[in-house]
Chains A and B, each alone.
Chain A
Amino acid sequence: MEISELKAELEKLHPASFGWALSCCHRKAAEAEEVLQTVYLKILQGKAVYRGESKLQTWLFAVIRKTAISERRKQWLRTLVPGTTAEAVSELEAEFERSEMQQRFQQALAKLPARQRETLHLVFYQDLSLSEAAQVMNISLGSARRHYERGKKRLRLALDREGVDYGIDWNRKENSSAVL
């Protein structure tokens, strides 16, 4: 794929990519922006090459995830230096502006294990199938399904504990086998 063609495709996927980067960076906007920029740099340098073996979105999300993990490691080293950064301030401001309901949902989401949170994000936010989510996370379909089911259950329990009702009938019978 030519770089101009790839650029156009990346531009289309950019909002979804940023959402995924946010999820990988614990909802930290500045970090997500840095990760996304690094991903674009990798593509420009030819370090990340799309070979058409899977959907472009699946490939791109896998690259974003890997980059976020390595960036998080670097970030951990930076956090050894104490002090509140401007990024932390802006995150607090964003949290203040958020609705209470959304805030509680995000808190409940943040408490989930990373794999479960990622699976739920890819399925519900990015509208990917479980097999595509498994590809992004580099795990088997069975594992992805397990993370999905457990994540859903834990999220429901956490929201119940938080008292987030929103008129949702959580105990309604559902057909889990329909999800694929």
Chain B
Amino acid sequence: MELTGTEKRIQALFSELSLEDHSRTPHFEHLWTRAAATKPSRVPLFSKSLAVTVIVLVVAFSFAIWSRSITQNALNIAPLEIPTTALPRFATVVETPRSSHAQRPKRIARPRQIESDVVTEASLLSRWQSPTSSLMESPSRVSFNSLPQLNQSAKDLESFLKESNQ
């Protein structure tokens, strides 16, 4: 590389700089030994896979515990209480009509009357129909709910052939 005036001067300054740097340069062996001393031993491959396995197991175990606790919480929820006000006849204590003068003590209903009430309720419940059930009706409902006869077409064909032969 041929250098010109400016470049030669710049190179002279850089040469001076390099001389200064050479005096400050640390020994190669010193740095190399220090680097070799700090070199960490390589982690064997099996230990890496072992670590991955342990992590996966821990995650799976914690997930199992978490899902179990969620299920238990769901089971611990108190069942919904059915409001008894809607079915006053099921009540074992029947209130008599109040008189205008004074309140009478409550009278316990007789067993036979309760039994007949229950039967009436049951029959009413069995006959109950949803007000929206008519919306679920469709003309093809019959064909969906009935099973086709497997040999129907064969029978039809047989009768047709007989008729045609005659």
Could you tell me which A residues sit within 8 Å of B by CB distance?
7, 10-11, 14-15, 18-19, 22, 29, 33, 36-38, 40-41, 44-45, 94, 98-99, 102, 105-106, 120-121, 123-125, 129, 152, 155-156, 166, 168-170, 172-176, 178-180
A174 with B28, Cβ < 8 A, contacts A124-B14, A166-B9 known: no
Does the CB pair A176–B4 fall under 8 Å?
yes
Could you tell me which B residues sit within 8 Å of A by CB distance?
1-7, 9-11, 13-14, 16-18, 20-22, 24-26, 28, 31-32, 34-36, 38-40
Subset of 18 A-B contacts with CB under 8 Å: A10-B28, A10-B32, A14-B25, A19-B22, A19-B25, A22-B24, A37-B31, A40-B31, A102-B16, A102-B17, A102-B20, A152-B7, A166-B9, A168-B5, A168-B6, A174-B6, A178-B3, A180-B1
Does the CB pair A125–B17 fall under 8 Å?
yes
Does the CB pair A15–B1 fall under 8 Å?
no
A175 with B17, Cβ < 8 A, contacts A41-B35, A124-B11 known: no
**How many contacts between A and B, using CB within 8 angstroms?**
101
Does the CB pair A174–B35 fall under 8 Å?
no
Complex CA gap A174/B20 in Å reads: 28
